[in-house]
Amino acid sequence: MMNLPQAYQRLVEKLTVQWKLLACLLLVFFIGATVIALLPIVIRRLLDSVLILEDWALVQEALFAMLALCLVRWVACYAGSHLMHMLTSRLGIAFYGEIFTKLLALPASQYRHFADHKRIDRLFHHASHISLVTIEKLVLVIKESLIILGLFACLYYLHRDSLLLVLLLLSATILLYQIANDQFSKLSQKSRKSFRNLTQPIVESIQHHKEIRLGQGRERENQRFEKAVAAVFLSNRQKVVMQTVIQLIIEIIVIGIVALSVYLFGLQILHNQMYLGQALAVIVAISMVCVSMYRMARIFVSLTHDRRHLESVFSFLDQASDEDMGILLVQPVRGKLQFEHISLDHKKWHEFTLNLVIQPGEKIVFTGYSEPVKDRLIDLLLRLEQSSSGRIWLDDYLLNDIKIDNLYTNIALISQNSVLLDETIAGNIAYGAMQSANEAQITSAMQASGCNAFVKEMPDGLQTKVGNHGIEIGKMERLQIAIARALLKSPAIIILDEVFDANELKTEATLCAFKTLIENRTTLIFSQTGSCWIDFDKMIVLGEELGKKFSEES
């Protein structure tokens, strides 16, 4: 598992991509830190002007300087907030884009993990937390570090001995933080173990509910479960106690340092070794250092808790993508397909292989199949899945040796539940690689598919927005758009996925569009009912027994 430094190192590398914006933000932070460091010096000047020099002109000058610093501080805070929002927004958009690109590049077998949307929701929740919270915390660490360094310089200027007290405070805080971090890690492991012990009796009780009821052991199981629950709450209580004790120790250290500073400075004032204004300015500076260090400690603790978000997202991004191993470019593709001993098993105890040769331009109807068998055959042809045995040939070339883009350019898939892939009708027809098509080509495909009948009624014609963010259109219109998309693509192979099983799609216009689409093209028609509205060359039953018989005869 990825450890914390590696995870945050990768996140910092992503930050450096926006180096110009980050440099502007650091400049604003530097200005803000300089203002904070100058504030105790101005306070000393103000107090010296009142208590020692009694020069009201200098008092007014010091007050004006303090007001100017406050104004600069306000402008720096506003600019820093604006730049921070810009930085997190850009990184968040890039982060989301990287995750989405990885999603589209995953092997098809991985998509079953995202079927219920829960994993996607969890993944993007982690990404959202990183982009909106964790990145801001990292930048705030830099901001607080600059403030602390500025205050160190201020203390060195005001009173060098006071800097030793602050360094003592810093050393004690770092040591305490390290001890606390180690203890929290142990308690977190103990808490996770207690939680696992809590779920174990629940699972066992459900699995063995018959034996528990017959043995009249409900009271015994309740007692065992109560002990597991008590262990969880005890572990959580230990964490709360540890956090309270550490916070108390930090407060004691801070109060002790401040009290010691007041005492030492009081002695120096009594012996005329320090003026009251200088002492108060040093106390203000030390207090500001304590506040900044406290904020820094809280940020580090929260960053430790963000570890799971980073690990989840980076482990997803580190997954292997679906790589194209093809090297051949087949031009032109005639559409001959050959299946040699292709296993379509979806149950281990069935021996079902397909041996079939489809000549260019042939129309083959597949029927009698189960849904997994059909999906596997289509996935094998689209190279979304690899066959454990056998080979598939396209125009006498091994399918796996052909470049994937070359393969996809020559295959179109249409189903009865065709989806919209763009916001406009024209964008749906000229989707993806076909977006460079001109208006005349799109119009020609639209007319051949029968789309023009409903497009004429649209308020903006081909530029009408449809789908979730536009006008809702019916199943028939979606199918016609899919046919137009395939006509514009003009592939050598057409796959019709159960489009003839829906009676509501059977119209004269649709039938004419399909005849135009499959003319002189190799067509694979899948129909569970065996129905087909157009002429075909062969019908193949992909059922178990008939499928084996056909395989032997071929």
How confident is the model at residue 298, as a pLDDT?
Answer: 80
How confident is the model at residue 293, as a pLDDT?
Answer: 80
- Main-chain phi, psi angles of 362, to 5 degrees: -75, 150
How confident is the model at residue 173, as a pLDDT?
Answer: 67
List, edge to edge, every strand of the sheet that includes 411-415.
411-415, 493-497, 522-526, 363-367, 538-541
- Main-chain phi, psi angles of 271, to 5 degrees: -95, 15
Cα 154 to Cα 48: distance, rounded to the nearest angstrom? 17
Beta bridge partners of 366: 526, 540
Q: Tokens 């125009």, residue?
A: 395
3-state SS string for 333-377: CCCCEEEEEEECCCCCCCCCEEEEEECCCCEEEEECCCHHHHHHH
3-state SS string for 212-226: HHHCCCHHHHHHHHH
How confident is the model at residue 492, as a pLDDT?
Answer: 93
Under-50 pLDDT residues of the chain: 1-4, 348-349, 544-554
How confident is the model at residue 193, as a pLDDT?
Answer: 66
Residue-wise pLDDT tens digits, 117-166: 788 888 888 888 888 888 888 899 999 999 999 988 988 888 877 777 77
Q: Tokens 């964008």, residue?
A: 427
* Strand pairing class (522-526; 363-367): parallel
For residue 225, the tally of other CB atoms under 10 A from its CB is 15
Taking the whole predicted model, whether its pTM rises above 0.85 is answered as no
Q: Tokens 């992503």, residue?
A: 14
Q: Tokens 């030793």, residue?
A: 164
